[in-house]
Amino acid sequence: MSQQNPGASRREFLKGAAAASAATLLTPALLQGKAHADGSDVIRVGLIGCGGRGSGAANNCVNSSEGVKITAMADLFRDRLDSSRNNLKGLGDRFDVPEERCFVGFDAYQQLLDSDVDMVILATPPGFRPIHFEAAVAAGKHVFMEKPVATDGPGIRKVLAAAKVAKRKGLAVVAGTQRRHQKGYIETMQQIHDGAIGELVGAQVYWNQGGLWVTRQTPQMSDMEWQVRNWLYFAWASGDHIVEQHIHNIDVMNWAFGGPPEKANAMGGRQVRTGPEYGHIFDHFAVEYVYPGGVRTLSECRQIDGCWNRVSEKIIGTKGVANPSGRITGERNWSAPGGGRNAYVQEHADLIASIRANEPLNEAERVAMSTLTAIMGRMSAYTGKEVTLEFALNSQNSLHPEKWEFGDLAMPAVAIPGRTALV
């Protein structure tokens, strides 16, 4: 976010910051809810991470465009790969994964990348994403990667470096922030950036819901196996739910403001989910993000049963308020026309269309900065300290296990604000 012209209005700044994104996303194919591909060339896709989201992404991918086929699969666990493989066989001739293109183990991703796939879907727990993304770019593969793309500062730096290499190589990279590919969001954001609600003065974003699934450790599971299977509840693997889930809303807020905030002041805790099966993460967060110009915004996320729920975004301007999914109220009321394709499918259609047009999308830097925004909020809540974006980006605190192997892995300590050090 450029600070070279402090006299420019915020509206002009936002228009400039959003121009590149709008130019690539607001294509006729996208706004019509379809992307045209000639279908004459088959794009071979490898799936890395065969859980529910990975299987869903594989389905979305082949259903998005003609001439797309799943040809290889990789996962740390054989049972997850077999389950996904059986489900994906329903895709018929768009699924062609014989046993020799099934890979299992910590190096399974590399074995898949050594095959003849053209594109990969990265859908493992987020803690593995920087390693897999870097390797995929090195191997010259186009990438669809689920959000978030890292869980700590060192991981973000790795993703940003690989994003630059991908751009030099002409590789397409799309991330699983599907709101960026949803017709109503795109049209509303264009209205915001064109000044429909005036200068932006605030925002409120929420992902408050009940609890999610949990996997309990059995005597047969090593600590590493259990933490990977129960990955939601370990910050090295998921980033905590502010990073893993709430990033969707945070990304919309960054989209509206044309980039990330400068700092965060947060609080949170572990009040209800206190059993060892819930690892060490918090169950609620509240963050005040401060954007350039001193604009302050509110971010909330919670995973506690029996409470009021809210999953939404609100962008506040001097002339009105926008619900970015498709509505503006204020001096001028406006609603998006509606229609458009399922955003989970559209994001793959846009990726594949960009590959075939030799105009590769590259969303890696953008999603990395939204991931970093969420990490910054978590760091502030864990420590009780104000955290700047620069500090979070340059943090040397790696959350990852020292060894990628099954065996003992100590349970991380639960953070205590005011006592846990900011590193």
The distance from CA 275 to its chain's CA centroid, rounded to whole angstroms, is: 27
Going from the C-alpha of 136 to that of each of 111, 113, 118, 162, the distances in angstroms are 11, 7, 10, 9
**How sure is the predictor about 364, in pLDDT bands with cuts at 50, 70 and 90?**
very high
Contact predicate 90/82, CB 8 Å: no
The C-alpha atoms of residue 271 and residue 266 are separated, in whole angstroms, by: 16
Of the two residues 20 and 282, the one the predictor is more confident about is 282
Confirm if 25 and 186 have CB atoms less than 8 A apart: yes
Q: Is the pLDDT of residue 298 over 50?
A: yes
Give the amino acid at 282. F
Residue 95 CA to residue 109 CA, distance in Å, equals: 19
Residue burial 42-78, b: 16+ Cβ < 10 Å; e: rest: ebbbbbbbbbeebbbbbbbbbebbeebbbbbbbbbbe
pLDDT at 264: 98
pLDDT at 240: 98
Confidence category of residue 8, pLDDT binned at 50, 70, 90: very low
Q: Is residue 50 within 8 Å of residue 80, measured between CB atoms?
A: yes
**Domains of the chain as residue ranges with CATH:** 10-179+346-364 (3.40.50.720), 198-335+369-394 (3.30.360.10)
For residue 286, is pLDDT > 50? yes
pLDDT, one tens digit per residue, over 173-207 is 999 999 999 999 999 999 999 999 999 999 999 99
- For residue 23, what pLDDT is reported? 37
* pLDDT over 90 at 402, yes or no: yes
Structure tokens, 395:
């943090």
Asked if 124 and 98 count as a contact pair (C-beta separation under 8 A), the reply is no
pTM: 0.91
pLDDT of residue 338: 86
Whether residue 76 is predicted with pLDDT greater than 50 in this model: the reply is yes
Per-residue pLDDT tens over the stretch 44-64: 999 999 999 999 999 999 999
pLDDT of residue 117: 98
Sign of CA dihedral 397, 402, 405, 410: negative
Per-residue pLDDT of 306-351, as tens digits, reads 999 999 999 999 999 999 999 999 999 999 998 999 999 999 999 9
